[in-house]
Amino acid sequence: MVQVTLINYTPNPELTIATAARSSTSPSRVTKLRNELTPKQVENLLKRLLESGHLSPFEHASFTFAIEGISRVTSHQLVRHRLASYTQQSQRYVSLKEHGYVTPPTISSRPEFTAKYQQAIEAAHKLYSDMQATGIPMEDARYVLPQAIKTQLVMTMNARELLHACSLRLCLRAQWEIVELFEMIKSEVEKVAPYLGAELKPKCYRLGYCDEKESCGIFPTKAAAKTK
């Protein structure tokens, strides 16, 4: 089971973003601006920034997550978001004595494949363990491990990159596991930054149309929207 825990974040992240934004157009000292901003002013300012596309102030708030139980398939997708920091459990130094793995719902719902899938995972892990027992180093034995093997990592991402990542990964056409992961990330952010958390959503909600070749159905494609 995937687990996401917010283990650290910029204190008062929404106020920090708003203060940074206000400081660019005000002669007042930053500390004075920060102390004078009301919660409603913060919310209104964040709203204006998002609507205008002025997103650089969002880079001043960052969030650090402990992510556990995702497959290597999903961790490979995750690290493609380059404007973030990652520290992942090393298969060179950590022996995977327990072979936790992820089973896609499309496989678990097919009994004729579920057993074969489990057998393949277990056979790979047994070979992995047997090779280590004969002195083959972990860094070489790991070559037989499937991408379904579970991993854990720490990820730090600023609010601007979170908006971008969620705009892609919360799309219903994204792969199920990474959608599930970013739904949990969104939930963790909402606990400490409710307005920002609510804005973590697929890009179609901001665009008003789907810019992919095919739509999931929530919004029409851009071409279809033009014909209406």
- CA atoms of 104 and 108, how far apart (whole Å): 6
State the Cα angle at 152 between 166 and 156, rounded to 5°: 45
Instruction: List the beta bridge partners of residue 65.
Output: 6, 155
Res 130: pLDDT: 96
214, pLDDT greater than 90 = no
Res 217: pLDDT: 83
Q: Which residue is catalytic, options 72, 82, 169, 173?
A: 169
Res 160: pLDDT: 98
User: Is position 34 annotated as part of the catalytic site?
Assistant: no
228, pLDDT greater than 70 = no
Strand order in the sheet with 84-88: 3-9, 62-71, 150-158, 84-88
Res 97: pLDDT: 82
User: In this predicted model, what pLDDT tens digit does every residue of 51-97 receive, in sequence order?
Assistant: 999 999 999 999 999 999 999 999 999 999 999 999 999 999 999 88
- Is-contact 151 67, C-beta < 8 A? no
224, pLDDT greater than 80 = no
